[in-house]
Amino acid sequence: MEVNELLGMLREKDIFSIREVRFAFIETDGNVSVIKGEKLQYGQAGLSELPTPLIMDGRIVRKSLQRLRKSDSWLYHELKKKSIDDIQEVFYAEYLEGHGLLVQTQLK
């Protein structure tokens, strides 16, 4: 499954960040079942922006980096702090102001 497909399935369940997922299961019929974790609050009482995807399926989302005014070197430095040396190890990474970078590595 590609990350865009997974993110779309999560949005159908009103989940806008992987941070809100404790566990997710791909069922035999192709649907996703989710055990939710902490719910992020959006809007006036909470976050003003949705998370910004920076890496999808091992590829940098350059437009997102530019919008955040972040550089490739910043991203590689952040990955290094998480002991990730190769971007191909990353299934998905998102940035959320006030919460930093979340990285989900590829399953092996």
Domains of the chain: 3-105 (3.30.240.20)
Could you tell me where the DSSP H helices lie in 1-108? 3-11, 62-68, 72-81
Q: Which amino acid is at 73?
A: S
Whose structure tokens read 């996703």? 32
pLDDT in tens, 67-78: 999 999 999 999
Q: Is the pLDDT of residue 54 over 60?
A: yes
Percentage of the chain beyond pLDDT 90 is 58
Residue 54's alpha-carbon distances to 27, 33, 36, 60, 86, in angstroms, are 27, 25, 23, 6, 15
Instruction: Report CA torsion sign: 26, 86, 102, 57.
Output: negative
Q: What is the per-residue pLDDT for 40?
A: 76
Let me know: does 19 contact 102? Beta carbons within 8 Å.
Answer: yes
pTM: 0.79
Instruction: State whether the Cα torsion 14-19-21-26 is positive or negative.
Output: positive
The neighbour count for residue 89, using CB atoms within 10 Å, is 16
